[in-house]
Chain A
């Protein structure tokens, strides 16, 4: 089946630093999404991308849908302590009922 390779697996950064994480796939997706999961909570949608090459921002977050449709990245600028959590990329295809395939997650830790 489809698999998403998400990297890095974990990051420990200083507050104020910028963060970058990415996701690659061996298959094409029509949709790329980024979710954040706080401890004890369900994942929450951060950004959704629907078009190859699309670059979308949500506050300090910026994500891009790769032109090949096989990759996506998420950047977080000027990190703050509440950015701590696990970030998941997910790829979807309309012809698969929009079942999402999730990456393994990037655990972000921010040192104040």
Chain B
């Protein structure tokens, strides 16, 4: 158990819809990262927050947005969903700026 909690674990929705994925970081971790993993693909960095502020941005689509709340949990919002958005979405957290990330179990999104 990494200590990072993601909900929901599975989500099935239709094209054009909007979903919100939630992440609770490990206790004490200030940084939250979101990654996308498509079928048999590597991990693509989406966005990082540190103590409520956006810190780094990767290849995140304009249809996607995220935020980190004062209690440090984070949400990833995916809108106008397309079939190609079907993927595993991982949240990770870290305390030190060492790159040692602790990943949640992921949220599997299926867009039909």
Contact = CB atoms under 8 A, between A and B. Distances in A.
Contact of B99 (A1, A33, A40, A43): A33
A100 B99 contact: yes
Interface stretch (B11-19, B61-69, B74-82, B101-109): B101-109
Nearest to A105: B42
A88 B42 contact: yes
Interface in A79-111: 88, 90, 92, 94, 96-105
Interface string B34-68: 01000001111100101000011011000000000
Contacts of A1: 59
B56 to A, nearest CB: 4
Which of B42, B97, B102 counts the most chain A CB atoms within 10 A?
Answer: B42
A76 interface: no
Contacts of B33: 99-100
Given A88-B43, A99-B33, A44 B103 contact: yes
Contacts, number: 70
Contact of A43 (B31, B43, B45): B43
Given A97-B50, A101-B45, A103-B42, A43 B103 contact: yes
Interface of A: 1, 6, 31, 33, 35, 40-45, 48, 50, 88, 90, 92, 94, 96-105
Interface of B: 2, 4, 31, 33, 35, 41-45, 48, 50, 55-56, 58-59, 90, 92, 94, 97-106
Given A35-B103, A42-B92, A97-B50, 13 more contacts: A1-B59, A33-B100, A40-B105, A42-B90, A88-B43, A90-B43, A97-B56, A98-B31, A99-B33, A99-B45, A99-B58, A100-B99, A102-B44
7 contacts: A42-B105, A97-B50, A97-B55, A99-B48, A99-B58, A102-B35, A102-B42
